[in-house]
Amino acid sequence: MDSLHKDRDNTPPVSDPSNEEANEGTNEFINALSNSTEAIGSSLQTMQKALVGNMQQVAQLTLSMNMMMEELVKKAVRIGVFAAKPTRNPENSSYSTALCISVTNNSPIPLVNMAAKLRFALRFDAADGEQEIKLSSAPSRKSEPSEPSEQKKELLFSEQSTRLNRRNIEDENAFMEQQSKPMNLGSGGSAEATLTLSADTLLQLDGQILVEFLSPGTGSLLAVNHRFGIHIMHLLGNQCWFCSAKDVADKLKGQAEAFLPAESTSSFDIDLSYMRRAFSVPPANGIEKGSIFVFSISSSFIFGLRVLDIVNDSSIATCEWITMAAENTRPLPEKQAFLLSLLSDEISSHIL
């Protein structure tokens, strides 16, 4: 009996076919699920890389388009600076010029928070020590009645007086700077200002106007730069006049004989069309040999350019400097000689 039980205990268990099939199916499912998970993970990783790449491309494209738009807007901004004779002479100043400034937006995009920044620095210092210049408002040019007022605005600057003693306009401590009040300038619109620039001595200035506005894409600050010069001829606008050869005796009231050729100077050619504009000589008036372009610096220092000859179909004239100092000082004082040298360079540079 005991042996029978022992035989039954030693008998191996009978395997169930249905359990084996279930285990195999579970393993296959797990393997398939694992493979699918790996495939999905790989696909997601690929999609993520593609998405990141696409986003980078879109960002780069957006940046490129914004930069291109900014450049187009900047190129469509037109800055004009014109020097004219002032309508009035500022108090406590001998020399002045009227600056007519204009900013025009030719782009289809408005200029937001647009402001104009003016800078002036000494180019040459003909006098010792510091030089004082003053910037003040002058009456603006009137718009035509047919011109919409919203298309033309006024640049508003405040008055300022500064003493300059350096020549480098890039040096922040060496220039006068004045900024207009911000405004929005629409497409096709323009903004203008008429300012009077005055100085207590004759000098030359390097000028710069910087127009700043916000980028239409990023909101960052954009700037358009324009450089110009203020010459001695500009500051002498109200103290220059033309005397034709036949009127020399009458207009100079017998002083023509007191004019003497300036020492240490030589004759040079001038462009008569430029001199007509600078001295407001009407086209009907002829400029002939013996005519004088008179510069009245002060009661004790008057000089002129006397026409010696007319050449090149009456478009060019050969001239010489003549002076009429209080005591006919010879040779010419150093400061006056330097002034004539600067004027010679300014005038002769307009030869076409």
pLDDT of residue 217: 81
**Half-sphere exposure of residue 119, counting CA atoms within 13 Å on the CB side?**
19
pLDDT of residue 211: 95
| Distances, alpha carbon 285 to alpha carbons 241, 279, 304, 311, in Å | 13, 12, 19, 17
Structure tokens, 9: 């205990």
pLDDT of residue 135: 84
Structure tokens, 71: 């450049």
Give tens-digit pLDDT for 179-200: 889 999 999 999 999 888 888 8
Alpha helices in the chain (DSSP H): 2-10, 17-75, 232-235, 248-251, 272-279, 334-348
Q: Which residue has the higher pLDDT, 230 or 126?
A: 230
For 249-255, the CB contacts below 8 A with 24+ separation are 252/292, 252/294, 255/324
* pLDDT at 262 > cutoff 70: yes
pLDDT of residue 75: 93
The fraction of the chain above a pLDDT of 90, given in percent, is 18
Range in 62-71, 156-165, 335-344 the model is least confident about: 156-165
Question: What structural domains and CATH numbers belong to the chain?
Answer: 75-141+150-235 (2.60.40.1230), 237-348 (no CATH)
* R_g of the chain, CA atoms, integer Å: 41
pLDDT of residue 351: 66
Average pLDDT over residues 24-30: 65
Q: What residues have CB less than 8 Å from 1, skipping those under 6 apart?
A: none
pLDDT of residue 144: 45
* pLDDT at 165 > cutoff 70: no
pLDDT of residue 218: 84
Determine contact, residues 305/292, Cβ cutoff 8 Å: yes
* pLDDT at 44 > cutoff 70: yes
Average pLDDT over residues 142-170: 62
Determine contact, residues 200/94, Cβ cutoff 8 Å: yes
Average pLDDT over residues 244-252: 75
Mean per-residue pLDDT over the chain, rounded: 77
pLDDT range class, residue 50, cuts 50, 70, 90? confident
Give tens-digit pLDDT for 295-310: 888 777 788 899 999 9
Determine contact, residues 314/289, Cβ cutoff 8 Å: no
pLDDT of residue 24: 62
